[in-house]
Amino acid sequence: MEKDKQIFDIIAREDARQHMGMELIASENFVSHQVLEAMGSCLTNKYAEGYPGKRYYGGCQVVDEAETIAIERVKKLFGAAWANVQPHSGAQANMAVFMACLKPGDKFMGLNLSQGGHLSHGSPVNFSGLVFDAVEYNVDPETGLVDYDKMEETALRERPRLIIGGASAYSREWDYARMRAIADRVGAIFMVDMAHPAGLIAAGLLDNPLKYAHIVTSTTHKTLRGPRGGIILMGEDFDNPWGKTTPKGQLKTMSALLDSAVFPGTQGGPLENVIAAKAVAFGEALQPSFKTYQQQVLVNARALAKALKDKGYKIVSGGTDNHCVLLDLRENFPELTGKQAERALVEADITANKNMVPYDTRSPFQTSGIRLGTPAITTRGADVIMMTVVADFIDEVLRNVDNHEAIASVREQVNAMMAPMPIFAD
Ligand SMILES: Cc1ncc(COP(=O)(O)O)c(C=O)c1O
């Protein structure tokens, strides 16, 4: 059969865009060649509904081995006692937790979406907000930090059955111990969605939520640098019966509830090619070089935040503890929306995304902020000196959003800088 030129031309163009551009989207990264190879392998052909050793299809003996290795490696990586590596995405992992822990209409609590929370933590257009009763907690308007005292007040008043920690745009460390204490006070299950900082946590550079939360979910493709997908984990002592009974009246453990919430609850056949790629990525994350990489991600994020601050930019919460830097444009550029800023940056081949800032008065389609992140550019070898240049580029573009010549000049410099930087270190 002839190669599909139309699609492979598009892939070649996207390859060039990724190579020549400066990737600052906080939730993106570049996987290794062996992760790509595993994803593009013949494992995509195999149906394997069920779990290793308990499948609904024959011929699963080989993929069973890959899925078992993925489970064992991710448990080792995060110090988990139990893992499910089948969720197709982070949102699917969260959906499975809702399904295992709540009944439709039950109340749960997550970070306000306009302050960094994720869609699957209670958006009215997402299953979480459509099927369940979402209550929010907030960040302090002055400090930009999660207000745990108010969170506790809200929890005591609302009595949610589930409390979610973790976010899509929050650059500070979480007080998981405090959240667990709040959850215990109201008898709620405490779940952490560590999708963003998972790689930093795996490297031991941020606190590990497995020590505090009943259940932890994550994506595998952000700081963790694996294929697109999700995982669900549990720590040592949380797999006790939770009072849910099967039709035959037996008490079910949380791990059994979660397994059946993933399959058959919310998914069909697992993507065994992606699961094998997850195993490869977990194996990479267990190497000492992964810690060195994550240390550089952190150092670069701090350097970027500082360089922008030195130029007079307002950073939400004043800085960062992780890979993410949230720029509040309102002070320096009151007329400029995040949408316009994103467009101008993309014109300069700098990819970042518009983002709401706490207590934003603009809509999620306009926004007053820009979210930046260092995982992808660090994979390509960026160091702190480069971060000051990146801040110069961003500043030049934001001051000249309608000046196409100035933007073209930045684009040339960006392309010249990125061209020699490899996407695959291997
Ligand atoms: C905190 C958080 N959870 C879940 C997700 C959803 O992941 P996915 O896009 O794989 O469904 C994201 C994605 O950005 C996220 O930031």
Q: Tell me how far apart the alpha carbons of residues 202 and 197 are, in angstroms, rounded to a whole number.
A: 9
**Full DSSP string of 211-254:** GT-SEEEEESSSTT---S-EEEEE-TT--SEEEEE-TTS-EEEH
Domains plus CATH for the chain?
33-285 (3.40.640.10), 292-418 (3.90.1150.10)
Output the tens digit of pLDDT for each of the chain's 426 residues. Answer: 899 999 999 999 999 999 999 999 999 999 999 999 999 999 999 999 999 999 999 999 999 999 999 999 999 999 999 999 999 999 999 999 999 999 999 999 999 999 999 999 999 999 999 999 999 999 999 999 999 999 999 999 999 999 999 999 999 999 999 999 999 999 999 999 999 999 999 999 999 999 999 999 999 999 999 999 999 999 875 666 565 666 676 777 889 999 999 999 999 999 999 999 999 999 999 999 999 999 999 999 999 999 999 999 999 999 999 999 999 999 889 999 999 999 999 999 999 999 999 999 999 999 999 999 999 999 999 999 999 999 999 999 999 999 999 999 999 999 999 999 999 866
User: pTM higher than 0.85 for the full model?
Assistant: yes
Which is the catalytic residue, given 55, 222, 354, 411? 222
Which residue's alpha carbon is nearest to atom 8 within ligand 1? 90
Q: What is the distance in A from the centroid of ligand 1 to the CA of 144?
A: 21
Pocket lining for ligand 1, CB < 6 angstroms: 27, 89-91, 118, 120, 166-168, 193, 195-196, 219, 230
Known catalytic membership, residue 228? yes
Cα→Cα distances 373→22, 296, 414, Å: 11, 12, 16
Other C-beta atoms closer than 10 Å to the C-beta of 353 total 22
